[in-house]
């Protein structure tokens, strides 16, 4: 791909003129230890520029199921404990990018839910994003909720008069013109019988794959989805998993369509989920790794010590690895 084409593809040229200022998300990357800068180039697409001072893998910290915001004294105390743990985790692991895979806030607990966790995340000095979880839906509408998340990089697309919360990050290494890896975030819904990745989002993903193929983009991809796909259970049932299995897999209304679309793409290498706080296992099903994050908030149910999952992407080797991490 020629540089001129790349600029057109990423939208860099027009974006610099159009924005003319540094966004809150860019600022987060600049002031923390992160070597990543995130720029929005379309409503549903971001470019994550990775420019470490010496070659190393990109570090993504997956946090999930923090369930912040319930205004009860005990929950407020446990939120403070979670904030401290997350700050420590970030100081220790020095991630370049944070991906929260849903149930960030108990928006459904009361009209008075506190959204102070957003300020905490904005102050971490690391660019971040959020894939919607079922508890993120509630009293405050999703557009209003997202308006508060000024420092986060959140995308969406419109289709048939509706707004859908799926979007992607294309990771570009220093000095490179072409993207080297992609991360896709999806919304897995909140209400029965639609607690799964919706058909419009799967159609969107198909269109993304087709457009990439036309441009010659074949990057490996990771998918971030709050509610696990049904294959998490199929894999566990035949004992192909490693890690904690402490409760039934709540794949809710997923019936295999999401996995089938990912499988067909041949580009999705792993799916990272949350939702089931007592599970943190991982394993490979039909060539795609299925990975639970680790419950991250003390206001959430479940007894597992709180932590996160560090995902390291080696762009030069086109590979990734991950492990659970804990604040110590």
Which among 5-13, 33-41, 61-69, 86-94 is the span making contact with Fe ion, rule CB under 5 A? 61-69
CA dist 90 → 10, 59, 82, 121, 219 (Å): 29, 11, 12, 10, 27
φ/ψ of residue 146, rounded to 5: -70, -30
Please provide the DSSP assignment of 3-25 as one string.
HHHHHHHHTHHHHHHHH-S--HH
Query: Which residue's CB is nearer to Fe ion, number 44 or number 103?
Result: 103
Query: Which residue's CB is nearer to Fe ion, number 49 or number 103?
Result: 103
**Residue facing Fe ion at closest CB distance:** 103
Which among 1-9, 70-78, 85-93, 97-105 is the span making contact with Fe ion, rule CB under 5 A? 97-105
Query: Which residue's CB is nearer to Fe ion, number 188 or number 201?
Result: 188
Cα–Cα distance measured from residue 311 to residue 171, given in angstroms and rounded to the nearest whole number: 14
Closest distance of CB 320 from Fe ion, Å: 24
Query: Which residue's CB is nearer to Fe ion, number 56 or number 278?
Result: 278
State the DSSP code for 135.
Answer: G
Cα–Cα distance measured from residue 272 to residue 292, given in angstroms and rounded to the nearest whole number: 6
Query: Which residue's CB is nearer to Fe ion, number 44 or number 65?
Result: 65
Closest distance of CB 9 from Fe ion, Å: 37
Sign (positive/negative) of CA torsion 159, 161, 166, 167? positive
CB 129 within 8 A of CB 98: yes
Interface pick for Fe ion out of 65, 96, 136, 212 (rule CB under 5 A): 65
Range 118-177, binding Fe ion (CB under 5 A)? none
Cα–Cα distance measured from residue 134 to residue 189, given in angstroms and rounded to the nearest whole number: 6
Cα–Cα distance measured from residue 234 to residue 151, given in angstroms and rounded to the nearest whole number: 37
State the number of binding residues for Fe ion (CB under 5 A): 2
Neighbouring residues of 119: CB distance < 8 A, sequence distance ≥ 6: none
Which among 32-40, 65-73, 161-169, 286-294 is the span making contact with Fe ion, rule CB under 5 A? 65-73
Closest distance of CB 134 from Fe ion, Å: 8
Kind of pairing between the strands at 97-100 and 128-130: parallel
Query: Which residue's CB is nearer to Fe ion, number 103 or number 252?
Result: 103
Query: Which residue's CB is nearer to Fe ion, number 101 or number 153?
Result: 101
Q: Any contact of residue 280 with Fe ion (CB under 5 A)?
A: no
Q: Any contact of residue 276 with Fe ion (CB under 5 A)?
A: no
Q: Any contact of residue 103 with Fe ion (CB under 5 A)?
A: yes
Which among 70-78, 98-106, 117-125, 194-202 is the span making contact with Fe ion, rule CB under 5 A? 98-106
φ/ψ of residue 68, rounded to 5: -70, 165
Q: Give contact residues for Fe ion (rule: CB under 5 A).
A: 65, 103
């Amino acid at each position: 791909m020629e540089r001129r084409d790349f600029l057109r593809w990423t939208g860099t040229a027009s974006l610099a003129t159009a924005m003319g200022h540094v966004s809150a998300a860019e600022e987060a990357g600049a002031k923390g230890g992160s070597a990543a800068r995130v720029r929005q180039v379309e409503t549903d697409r971001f470019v994550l520029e990775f420019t470490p001072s010496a070659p190393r893998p990109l570090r993504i910290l997956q946090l999930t199921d923090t369930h912040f915001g319930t205004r009860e004294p005990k929950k407020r105390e446990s939120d403070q404990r979670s904030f401290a743990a997350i700050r420590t985790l970030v100081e220790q692991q020095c991630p370049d990018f944070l991906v929260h895979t849903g149930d960030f806030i108990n928006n459904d607990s009361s009209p008075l839910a506190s959204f102070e966790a957003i300020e905490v995340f904005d102050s971490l000095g690391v660019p971040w994003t959020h894939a919607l979880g079922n508890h993120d839906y509630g009293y405050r509408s999703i557009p209003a909720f997202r308006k508060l998340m000024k420092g986060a990089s959140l995308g969406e697309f419109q289709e048939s008069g509706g707004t859908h919360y799926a979007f992607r990050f294309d990771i570009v290494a220093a000095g490179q013109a072409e993207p080297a890896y992609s991360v896709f975030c999806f919304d897995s819904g909140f209400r029965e019988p639609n607690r799964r990745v919706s058909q419009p989002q799967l159609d969107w993903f198909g269109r993304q794959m087709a457009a990439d193929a036309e441009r010659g983009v074949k990057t490996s991809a990771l998918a971030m989805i709050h509610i696990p796909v049904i294959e998490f259970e199929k894999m566990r049932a035949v004992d192909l998993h490693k890690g904690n299995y402490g409760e039934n897999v709540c794949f809710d209304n997923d019936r295999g369509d999401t996995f089938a679309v990912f499988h067909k793409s041949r580009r999705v290498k792993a799916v990272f989920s949350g939702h089931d706080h007592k599970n943190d296992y991982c394993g490979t099903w039909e060539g795609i790794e299925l990975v639970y994050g680790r419950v991250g908030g003390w206001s959430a149910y479940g007894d597992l010590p709180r932590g996160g999952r560090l995902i390291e992407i080696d762009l030069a080797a086109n590979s990734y690895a991950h492990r659970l991490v804990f604040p110590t």
